[in-house]
Amino acid sequence: MEFLGNEMLTVKDGKLKIDGHDAGELAKMYETPLYVMSETQTVKNFERYVESFKEYSEKTGKETIFSFAYKANTNLALTKLLSKLGCGADIVSAGELYIAKISNVPSEKIVFNGNCKLKEEIKMGIETKIRAFNVDSISDLILINETAKEMGKIANVAFRVNPNVDPKTHPKISTGMKKNKFGLDIESGIALQTIKMAEKMENVKIVGIHCHIGSQLTEISPFVEETRKIMDFVVLLKNEGININDVNLGGGLGIPYDKQKVIPVQKDLAKAILSVIYEYESKIELPNLILEPGRSIVATSGVLLGTVKHIKDTPVAKWIMIDAGMNDMMRPAIYEAYHEITSCTLRSEKEVVSIAGGLCESSDVFGKDRELSKIEVNDTIAILDVGAYGISMANNYNSRGKPAMVLTSEKEVSIIRERETLADLISKDIVPNHLL
């Protein structure tokens, strides 16, 4: 059995192994539901970005910065691991900035995104001396400038532009088309108008242009179109007397959720993007390059383990009920997202089954009509590629605690998130005196 993109997964003697550790034994030792994150896979995924893009800095002398999209997974062990590898942070809240700071991410590698930044978040970013706030609207720019003025500081700003590029991905994770809520429209002139406003402001410094067209992109052509439109805009700005130091092309590279589908990888992305950027060498001074990968660094590193509690035959399906639910991993319920699923005990006999959680929602289903190895009660089921937007979207629906998480390497297994207890569920609730 081959798990495309999941090099940490192997099968030996009919048992699924994660970094060499028996998945079923991990489930017994740490209980389920359980997130398992591979340190080995995470490092490999990040280092492929570094290796794929290293020629840009070598050729141009400019910086190449990878700022991990914290929305994908903010577990402290992972953010500290990536920080040690030299990775920055793409953040969208005070909470994510707080985590970046305690993960020792250098301030010059932190970029602040979001279409509705709050004043307190802006103050925190200015105090941290982050590389840039990616401005999403005129009012966003005004608030950043006013906040910096009150503090007696200068805030670095880049401008998130909307290039109207179809990312050819799920509509709910498309971000760079006119109909999306993000960014300053290039074609109508709003982006240029906003940047010219910033030129006249005393408490902001223009440092870059930013763009992000969507998530889980499985084709290279949208990245090529995005890069060309951004570089054309940088040339236009130069002709207006505005020089841009940083070009941030965002993230969005997909991963092979469907193991039958081969999709572009980091080296393909680098080749395509850099070939476009080099075309502009005679027109402008080439900029520093920033990328915001998230899913493509941690998604394939994660597995969600659940234990089979019940098996139910109906006239239309054979249901496998596991103790993990949509509160633990929301993607299938929100996006109808596909995730490979396998039993951790692989038997020769096959059967077609549907895998569901135990929550009070019909959408609490991880996969329908899957051909899997025959499954028995108390078996461990593995849902693959959950390292991104898994634990970060987990919640307490049906008053269920969020799951524990472990980090594996070939050498060891470490607990990196405690399982929430029943007491944790009400730890923030307050009962007024008249109800005591």
- Residue 114 annotated in ligand binding: no
380 DSSP β-pair partners: 307
- Tokens 């002709």 -> residue: 239
User: Which of these is catalytic: 87, 116, 211, 360?
Assistant: 360
CA 364 – CA 358 distance, rounded (Å): 7
To the question of whether residue 294 is assigned a binding role by annotation, the answer is yes
DSSP state of 129: T
- Largest Cα–Cα distance in the chain? 74
Neighbours of 349 (CB within 10 A): 7
3-state DSSP assignment of residue 349 = coil
55 is in an annotated binding site: no
Q: Residue 331, annotated ligand binder?
A: yes
**Residue 278 marked ligand-binding:** no
The reply, when asked if residue 167 is annotated as ligand binding, is no
CB 330 within 8 A of CB 394: yes
CA dist 129 and 105 (Å) reads 12
Active site residue 211: no
Compute the distance between CA of residue 50 and CA of residue 41 in angstroms, rounded to an integer. Answer: 15
The angle, 0 to 180 degrees and rounded to 10, between the axes of the packed helices 119-128 and 138-151 is 60
Q: How far apart are CA 295 and CA 266, in angstroms?
A: 12
Q: Parallel, antiparallel, or unpaired: how do β-strands 350-356 and 365-373 relate?
A: antiparallel
Q: Give, in degrees to the nearest 5, the angle at Cα 254 between 382 and 175.
A: 120
Q: Is 48 assigned to a binding site?
A: no
Annotated binding residues for substrate, written as ranges, equal 295, 331, 335, 361, 389
Annotated binding residues for pyridoxal 5'-phosphate, written as ranges, equal 252, 292-295, 389
Annotated binding residues, written as ranges, equal 252, 292-295, 331, 335, 361, 389
Q: Which residues are catalytic?
A: 360
